[in-house]
Structure 1
């Protein structure tokens, strides 16, 4: 039985709780949030048929929870800049850690988290859902099998009504968010490019605009990967609605993911795959990795690479020049 504590009980935690409570090897043992009402609401969601005595299992300080409850792992769903201190504290206590994206807001902190997890032989997993989604698993497999030939170019467009959704929340406060749309939803897109291709980032040229808001809203990023592969990432945080479109181009065709998966071969044959690989989710993978049943499909190393590219993108936009990515 894996005993898990929850740090951060806001909206993002609810989907995780629905998945975790379905796993027979999981026991939820503590809920921590600076707002005790949020912690209580999540606890009651996790145990709908149980009546608790007052603030049972509830904490406002994560250190108090970790110091007083026996557990094996924690799931961290707090504002971005809090991920690092909370994860490091848990890892140093010998706990496995799953953390929401972005794993950390700086390359330095991301590397420290990975180093601590390795030192303690603990699982560190970043909740990048695309690693578990059928269409993106298919994309990664096709690239790995060489079905697209030599990869040449990637074009990704992400639109979201992010400003409307986040106005008045911690995501608009740099001291808690660490950045805007790029640091938040954009983290998924940066990760997708690096994970699907398994290519190292080389250099970045970016133009990023806050457009009068406290954090960034619009980003255009030109990311060069090893082998000269060019990725163009267009991120709009003030769009009317959510839209996402990815195209991965190779010498033998391309794969486009939007409403469906389209595989277009060099001879112009277009295939909509009749089947896609089985999907999973980060919560299940986290537990099964701890139990030794699965490999970690979204390890901390992914968070390190995303932190490196994101940090360099902000720097490139600030100075108006191309900047090399340094992972070491």
Structure 2
């Protein structure tokens, strides 16, 4: 992506749509750093709003029960969605006709139908619609892509992406977050949606938007006592003409993880976590030369989604095609997730047109 560093600009007028997402503390805790100001918050749960107001020191005068009223009265440039995923569509329905740009937490939507309606509104009204993933600003993922594109390891043949943790209830997420994260309507599913989206997003970026041939998925419910309404484990095989993606999305990992392995013709690239990357260049049958990297954080506007949002809105940065944040990337992500849900439900492979 091309980032043009400009002189100090006015703060981004930012609204917040919902407070029930467990990551909302990030936007609330960073209000005083100078690049954006929160002009309004839409949240109907007054008790939840008051809890955060006391914790982060903002005035309850910022909080509106009604999303449309908040947008009309506060006139933000952009809104960051921090409610349930089902409400992403409603936020775009209200924001887009007012020319307000939108950033949602991953995934883009609960369904492909919602995603396509959001796309149509964004295009019609000329707004940016971004999707934020934690792994978008992992320096290891960006270095892995650079190494792969250098050609030293040859073409990728198999990519494995693993994401997840012990499960929302086991890691102690707040009740307002748990209520919708384990609800098939409000989250679109369970672990398949929550963590399956990462692998689809990364693969679409690595392949510059290549469409799969087919998707095969198996889901399980290994913690029925904690996740009674949704699956908590998913294995998704995404086939391409000359490569394969395996997504392992789970609320049953004993240790939280977000990692990627790229198996290429001449070696392997391991993005072990945010900052640690290893490469193994093959030698003979089972030998290899290993290099280990401890990578520094990426430069601005990474690794900060709100700085990224501001840069895009202010035209300081133009997203590349199928960028991790981009709408076209995340529409294909939704196609893959929708196919995975259908495959798991019907017990058969789903083929793309």
Same fold (TM over 0.5): yes
Deviation readout 1:158-205 (Å, 9 max, x if unpaired): 341115246852212222121001111222232122223323222101
Answer whether contact 1:161 1:242 (CA < 8 A) is retained.
Answer: yes
**How many positions carry a matched residue from both structures?**
319
Q: Report the 3-state secondary structure (helix = DSSP H, G, I; strand = E; otherwise coil) of the residue aligned with 2:306.
A: helix
Deviation readout 1:72-96 (Å, 9 max, x if unpaired): 1111111111111222221122100
Cα distance in 1, alignment partners of residues 16 and 53 from structure 2: 9
| Map of 2:278 onto structure 1 | 262
Query: Which shows bigger deviation, 213-222 or 250-259?
Result: 250-259
In structure 1, stretches of 5+ residues that fail to align are none
| Map of 1:12 onto structure 2 | 23
Asked whether 1:22 is paired with 2:49, we answer no
Question: Residue 303 of structure 1: which of 324, 327, 330 is its match?
Answer: 330
| Map of 1:209 onto structure 2 | 220
User: Do the aligned partners of residues 9 and 274 (structure 1) sit closer, same or farther apart at CA in structure 2, a change above 3 Å counting?
Assistant: closer
Q: TM-score, normalised by structure 2?
A: 0.83
Question: Residue 77 of structure 1: which of 82, 85, 109 is its match?
Answer: 82
Question: Residue 162 of structure 2: which of 136, 157, 164 is its match?
Answer: 157
Asked whether 1:144 is paired with 2:149, we answer yes
User: Do the aligned partners of residues 291 and 42 (structure 1) sit closer, same or farther apart at CA in structure 2, a change above 3 Å counting?
Assistant: farther
Cα distance in 2, alignment partners of residues 126 and 159 from structure 1: 19
Measured on the aligned residues, the alpha-carbon RMSD in Å equals 2.2
User: Do the aligned partners of residues 90 and 265 (structure 1) sit closer, same or farther apart at CA in structure 2, a change above 3 Å counting?
Assistant: same
Deviation readout 1:91-129 (Å, 9 max, x if unpaired): 122100011111111122212222322222211110122
Asked whether 1:224 is paired with 2:239, we answer yes
Q: Report the 3-state secondary structure (helix = DSSP H, G, I; strand = E; otherwise coil) of the residue aligned with 1:38.
A: helix
| Map of 2:195 onto structure 1 | 185
Cα distance in 1, alignment partners of residues 131 and 310 from structure 2: 13
Q: TM-score, normalised by structure 1?
A: 0.89
| Map of 2:313 onto structure 1 | 290
Question: Residue 200 of structure 1: which of 196, 205, 211 is its match?
Answer: 211
Question: In the TM superposition, what are the counterparts of 1:306-317 in structure 2 within 5 Å?
Answer: 306-317=333-344
In structure 2, stretches of 5+ residues that fail to align are 1-9
| Map of 1:174 onto structure 2 | 184
Answer whether contact 2:279 2:290 (CA < 8 A) is retained.
Answer: yes
Deviation readout 1:57-84 (Å, 9 max, x if unpaired): 1112212211222221111111111111
Question: In the TM superposition, what are the counterparts of 1:27-42 in structure 2 within 5 Å?
Answer: 27-42=37-52
Give 1:290 deviation, angstroms.
0.7
| Map of 2:3 onto structure 1 | none
